[in-house]
Chain A
C-alpha cells in the first residue's frame, strides 16, 4: 500500500448533536463554578437591567418641574421629540431614559457575556491545559467549534433575554404611577433584544475566537478583546448626546451590519479552527 499525504478536507458528516451538547454542558457547568467568570457576568446585567431603572424611577419621583430632558429633546429629531415633549415631566424622563436612551447601552450585556465565556471556552481551555485532551477525543473540528460557539451564545442570550424580562418588570413598576400603559417593550427595545443583541453576542464570539487563538490565557484574551466594547460606547454616547440616535431604522441597520460582521468573523474563525493549528500553538 502506498502511503502518501492527502490534503483533501475532511468528509462532510452530519453534526453530532449529542457530542456538541455534551461539550456545551461541560463548559457551562465549569463556568457556573467559576466565580471569576460568573460575578462580572451577572454584575453588569444586574446594574444595567435592575439597579439603573430603579434609580431612574426614584429620580423621576423627585421631578416636579421641567427637567433637563427638555433640553435634550431639543437636540433630537422632532418626530422622536414631539410625542415625548407632550408628556408630563416625570413621564418624559421615564419614557426618554427607560424607553429610549438605555436601549443601546443594553447591548453591553450580550457582548460582555459572550466575550467573557468565549475567552474561557477558547483561551481558558489552553490555560487549563485541557485543550489537548479535547483534541485527542473523537470530535470533528467543526463540532468542537460549534460547541464552543454555543457555549458562548446560549448564556449570552439567556442573560440578555432574562435581564430584559427583569428590566421590563422593574421599568414598568417604577413608572406605573406616572405612565399610562407600558414603557417597555416598545419597538426599539424589541429590535434591540431580538435582532441586534444576538448579532452582538455573535460578534463578541467572533472577535474572541480570533483573539483567543493568539492568547494563552483567558485574562490575556479578555484584555486583548476588551476593545470590542468601544463601538458600543460610541453608540451609547451618541445616543445620550443626541449625536447618533438609535431609533427603529438605525437599530435595524446596526443589527444587519453587526450580523454581517459577526458572520464574517465566525466564518473566518471556523476556517482557522483546526486541530492542527490549535495543537501547534499549545
Chain B
C-alpha cells in the first residue's frame, strides 16, 4: 500500500525499445517533499524513467503510481500535477518567450487573464521580463533553460521532473538554478526527481541518490549510507595534537560502532558504522579527559559514492579471467 506521504512508487517498472531493455524492473519509492537524484551514464534509463513516471511511455511490465494515480491509465491527470523540464528546453523558436509560456498555461487550463498573470510572475521570477517579447531563437542556453524551468513551474506542480536542468549553463546560472530547486523542495515542499550527470549539483540538493546502470537500479539511498556500505563505515578524523597513544586507541576501539582505527601524525582516523557511533567516540574521549582539538566526520560526497559504484559495476562487467 502506498503511504499518504509517498509521492512516487514503482514496482518492477520495465520498458524496452526494439528489443533492447531500457529499464529493467525498477522498484522505487519517493517520499513527498524529497529530492531524489537519478544518476547514471548516458543510456542508463534516466529519461525513460521520467517518461514512464509521467505517463508518456507505457511500461512493458510493472507499474508506476504518481501522487496515488496510475501513470499509464491516468496520464493526463498525472501530467496536470507534475512539471517537467526536458533535457532540451523544447521551446518553439518562432514564438516569443511570453508566447511559449502562455501556450503551456492555456494547455494547463488557465483562462487568458490568469495565464497572463502567471506568465508575468514567472518571467519576473526568472529575471526574464526584458526578454518577454523576443523570439526565443536568439536566446542563450542559460536563458532557454530558465524559460523552460519557468514553464515547468507555471502551474505550481506538486512534483517536478528535471532532466539535466543545468547542462549547458555557466557556473552562475548553474548555482542559481540549483538554489532554486533546493528552495522549491525545502521551502515549498515540492517533490523533485533530478535526472542528471552533474554530481556536484545533485549532491548539494538531493536527499537520496538512485544509480541506474544499463536500465537497472543498482543502488539507492543517502550518500552516507551508501558510502558506509561501500567503504565499510564512514571515515572520520580526530585531531589530538599528536599521534594517538595506545590507551586512546583502546578507548576508541571499545566504542560500539567503531569499525577501524589507525594512528595519524595529528591524532587518529577512524571508520564508524554511523554518525551516532562518531558521537559516542567523542563523548568517550571527552569523559576520559582526552584533549580533542578538532573532529571531522568525512561525509562522502555524492560524487565519491557514484564513482565508487561505477567502478564496482565496471568490475562486475569485466569477464572473469
Contact = CB atoms under 8 A, between A and B. Distances in A.
A279 B108 CA distance: 20
Interface in A46-91: none
A208 B166 CA distance: 36
Contacts of B57: 275-276, 279-280
Interface stretch (A26-34, A195-203, A229-237): A26-34
Nearest to A16: B109
Given A4-B63, A6-B73, A137-B79, A26 B56 contact: no
A257 to B, nearest CB: 36
B79 A279 contact: no
B58 interface: yes
Contact of B92 (A4, A128, A140): A128
B62 A30 contact: no
B77 interface: yes
A26 B103 contact: yes
Interface string B8-38: 0111100001000000000000000000000
B84 interface: yes
B99 A136 contact: no
B94 A138 contact: no
B92 A26 contact: yes
Interface residues of B, number: 49
Contacts of A140: 76
Contact of A139 (B17, B107, B135): B107
B106 interface: yes
Contacts of A29: 94-95, 99
B84 A276 contact: no
A3 B86 contact: no
B80 A130 contact: no
A119 to B, nearest CB: 15
Interface string B43-57: 000000001001111
A135 B56 contact: yes
Main SS class of interface, A: loop
B268 interface: no
A24 B288 CA distance: 77
Contacts of A275: 55-57, 75
Nearest to B2: A1
Interface string B79-100: 1101010101011111100010
Contacts of B91: 130, 133
A3 B63 contact: yes
B104 A137 contact: yes
B275 interface: no
B108 A138 contact: yes
B51 A279 contact: yes
A136 B86 contact: yes
B155 to A, nearest CB: 9
Nearest to B70: A6
Interface string A4-28: 1111101000000011001100100
B106 A22 contact: yes
A5 B17 contact: no
Nearest to A34: B94
A5 B61 contact: yes
Interface in B56-74: 56-65, 70, 72-73
Nearest to A7: B58
A138 B88 contact: no
Contacts of A3: 9-12, 62-65
Nearest to B13: A3
A69 to B, nearest CB: 47
B113 interface: no
Interface string A240-282: 0000000000000000000000000000000000011001100
A214 interface: no
B314 interface: no
A21 to B, nearest CB: 9
B92 A138 contact: no
Nearest to A11: B73
Contacts of B90: 129-133
B1 interface: yes
Output the residue of B12, B58, B82 with the most chain A CB within 10 A. Answer: B58
Nearest to A4: B63
B106 A19 contact: yes
B103 A128 contact: no
Contacts of B84: 133, 136
Interface in B85-142: 86, 88, 90-95, 99, 103-104, 106-109, 135
A33 B51 contact: no
Output the residue of A10, A129, A136 with the most chain B CB within 10 A. Answer: A136
**Smallest CB-CB A-B distances: 5 pairs:** A133-B90, A3-B63, A136-B84, A30-B94, A22-B106
26 contacts: A3-B11, A3-B12, A3-B62, A3-B65, A5-B60, A6-B70, A6-B73, A19-B107, A22-B107, A26-B95, A29-B95, A128-B93, A129-B88, A130-B91, A132-B86, A132-B90, A133-B91, A136-B56, A137-B104, A138-B76, A138-B77, A138-B79, A138-B108, A138-B109, A139-B107, A275-B55
Given A5-B61, A130-B91, A132-B86, 6 more contacts: A5-B63, A10-B73, A19-B106, A133-B148, A137-B107, A275-B75
